[in-house]
Amino acid sequence: MKKKTLVDIDAQGLRALVRVDFNVPLDDGKVSDDQRIRAALPTLERLLDQGASLILMSHLGRPKGKPNEALRMDPVAAHLAQLLHRPVRKLDDCVGPDVEAAAKSLKAGEILLLENLRFHPQEKANEPAFAAALASLGEVFVNDAFGTAHRAHASTAGVPERLKPAVAGLLMEKEITYLGRTLADPEKPFVAILGGAKVGDKIGVIDNLLPKVEALLIGGGMANTFLAAQGHDMADSLVEEDALDNAKTLLDQAGSRLHLPVDAVVADSFAAEARSQVVPVDQIPQGWRMLDVGPATLKNFSQHLESSKTVVWNGPMGVFEFPAFAAGTFGLAETLGRLTRNGVTTIIGGGDSAAAVHQAGLANAMSHISTGGGASLEFMEGKSLPGVAALEDGD
């Protein structure tokens, strides 16, 4: 998936309209986790070094198409100014005469941050006039928001139809390079690890990955449904009854390539303080539920990973938010960190997996951690992402 990037343009003296993903958590009016902002800094600094001025646009939270005082971009502007060590002027809207005037008066090195795009319902609707109004603000478009690339919104799909050149930022380039190259031509052996709660969310991913992998390791809540499809009594564990037939079909298709937990950490309730014990998956007591993979499963999964050259992981192995049920997820992260040091390419597919790796203190130990949970999942399904497809093709 070759797309034009920052190296294909000269932004000197131009107004760069940049779609960033500054959808960050706020606590008491301040940014409480700035990972997404920091991820965009290389692109912003490259453009500033080239002599561009910046007009930044992002959504924040779910304001449902109307202004929400708690979701204004002011705290983000203040935090970004600290990180860049230069002023960031935040505007009170993202379209309109005042915004157009502010954009046109920008000088090289100056930065504007538009108000929350989703204060306007036209953003999610990709309304043509709204997209055109945004596009009119810049002279070059850069999309660095991979986390929103699976949405055909005005700022991701509508703007690049109207503003050229339209190129990928450094973060977007890294995402589509890692994920695209891995899925198109992975270095073998290729192992995929899938977890999380629901099989239904991952059926497309499994279908797309099965022909490409040497091993598919399944944990988390979705493993319950596969185990139930094999005939195991899962007691009070989460099982998707309507996905049992799909699970049986996938088990038949995968054969010996699909590996499931052999033991489980079970609990007598869904709570951090619940009683827990380790049991084989065919001996879960009535009234108990599986909340993590057990130590034998972690050992088995690690053995399958030892010979790998490429690993993709999407979805935790258990309810890692509860310390008693985090050992499977954190243990897997430790294994992948060690393999990365030994030259294995390890890609974490965003969302809860990324959160777990960060919580385990192993974010810097992986080859790549995707910034987009939903986008990376759709990419792994083999779907076209509107925000990527809209950018200009490279050579």
Taking phi first (over 0 means left), then psi (-120 to 50 degrees means alpha), and beta for anything else, what does residue 367 get?
alpha
DSSP state of 198: -
Catalytic residue among 109, 180, 374, 394: 374
Check if 349 is active-site.
no
Q: What is the pLDDT of residue 1?
A: 63
- Write out the chain's pLDDT in tens, 395 residues: 689 999 999 999 999 999 999 999 999 999 999 989 999 999 999 999 999 999 999 999 999 999 999 999 999 999 999 999 999 999 999 999 999 999 999 999 999 999 999 999 999 999 999 999 999 999 999 999 999 999 999 999 999 999 999 999 999 999 988 888 888 889 999 999 999 888 888 888 999 899 999 999 999 999 999 999 999 999 999 999 999 999 999 999 999 999 999 999 999 999 999 999 999 999 999 999 999 999 999 999 999 999 999 999 999 999 999 999 999 999 999 999 999 999 999 999 878 899 899 999 999 999 999 888 788 888 888 888 999 999 999 87
Q: What is the pLDDT of residue 184?
A: 83
CB burial class (10 A; 0-12, 13-18, 19+) of residue 242?
exposed
Which of helix, strand or coil describes residue 395?
coil
Q: What is the pLDDT of residue 202?
A: 87
Distances (CA, A) of 177 to 1, 115, 341: 8, 31, 20
- Segments of the chain assigned E as strands: 15-19, 26-27, 30-31, 53-57, 89-90, 111-113, 140-143, 166-168, 190-194, 215-218, 258-259, 263-267, 276-280, 289-293, 310-314, 345-348, 368-369
Q: What is the pLDDT of residue 351?
A: 80
- Assess contact for 311 and 346: CB atoms under 8 A: yes
Nearest by Cα to 120 from 131, 112, 104, 109: 131
Catalytic residue among 124, 162, 181, 198: 198
Q: What is the pLDDT of residue 380?
A: 87
Q: What is the pLDDT of residue 29?
A: 92
Catalytic residue among 351, 372, 373, 387: 351
Catalytic residue among 15, 36, 90, 202: 36
Looking at the whole model, is its pTM more than 0.95?
Answer: no
Check if 36 is active-site.
yes
Which of helix, strand or coil describes residue 208?
helix
Q: What is the pLDDT of residue 209?
A: 92
How far is it, in rounded angstroms, from Cα 108 to Cα 102?
13
Check if 351 is active-site.
yes
